[in-house]
Amino acid sequence: MRRTVRTLADGRQIIYFDTSLIPERHAFDTRSLSIAATRSDVRFDPLLGEWVVLAAHRQTRTHLPTADLCPLCPSAPDRATEIPESDYEVVTFENRFPAFAGSCEVVCFTSDHDAAFVDLELDRVKLVVDVWADRTAALSARDGVAQVFCFENHGAEIGVTLTHPHGQIYGYPFVTPRAEKISANTARYASERGRSLVADLIDDERQAGSRVVSESAHWVAFVPAAARWPFEVQFFPLRRVADIPDLDDEQRADFAHLYLDVLRRFVRIVDDSVPYVAAWNQAPRDRRNDWWLHLQLFSVRRAEGKLKYLAGSESGMGVFISDTTPEDVATRLRALG
């Protein structure tokens, strides 16, 4: 993998990641841009013990532009975009409308505006995994970053504002509520039983088999027994690692194959356009020793033409009420293989 680091017109960093032997990248950003202003605020909720980000400046971010105005497509002679080059494989750059001051990057998976992650070739998915690893390592080393979150939002119903295939990477200045809960529960389990909660969870799911969607040499994908979302799959490496950079090359290649296979089933479980969130759960910076990397894949679609709304119980009390059963979802996903 070759990395080419360049600078955009307003001083933000852009990095091209290539596997093919292409000429060195030298295109410059010809736009006239003012320095992007980030007016976000991070506030602490003392009742819940959680952080909340206020980012009112994002109200003015680009919203569902037509293909000819997409800022994530390569630049053309008559139109300059966020990516100065005329083509690219995978590229990352600092978000012009970040959720908070600090580390918020965009990851473009392909220059093809009309593609989706499920359309990528296996080698391209492996390159994306390597890019996630590269950026996770870089952001984790920055002062003030407590946890790195790589994710993809796919589909208008999820809230995507740009349809070009892309994801994002956040370098949170705090440990997220989900990671706090997982850390507390795994620590308690280890103290009480002297074993790893995640290792036992993986063993139990593999032995039961009813919720396992697919398994490979290095990974297992299953619908969690207490799934919150109508359609949800979790991916765990069989050997514990703390984050994506810890995955060796075999684990990364094996994940690319398994994930692409399961994702192609997942997006067809209701119709041909199921929206989803793919969310990596990586170790917070100070909790690497007992963390087990995993990926959540879930959808807000509960049936054709119907969404799972987070209504009274979910939004008010944080208690999810599922519209499906995990065993049925796993059976349906296996059947789509």
- Decide: residue 266, CB within 10 A, 0-12 exposed, 13-18 middle, 19+ buried: buried
Instruction: Find how far residue 124's CA is from the centre of its chain.
Output: 16
Q: Is 164 a catalytic residue?
A: no
Q: In this structure, what are the phi and psi dihedrals at residue 213, rounded to the nearest 5 degrees?
A: -90, -45
Q: Give the 3-state secondary structure of 53-84.
A: EECHHHHHCCCCCCHHHCCCCECECCECCCEC
CA separation for the pair 162, 66 (Å, rounded): 9
How many other CB atoms are there within 10 angstroms of residue 233's CB atom? 30
CA separation for the pair 209, 211 (Å, rounded): 6
For 217, the 3-state DSSP assignment is coil
Catalytic one among 164, 166, 218, 294?
166
Task: Calculate ∠ Cα 102-107-109, nearest 5°.
Answer: 175
Contact 237/301 with Cβ under 8 angstroms? Answer: no
What residues are labeled active site? 166
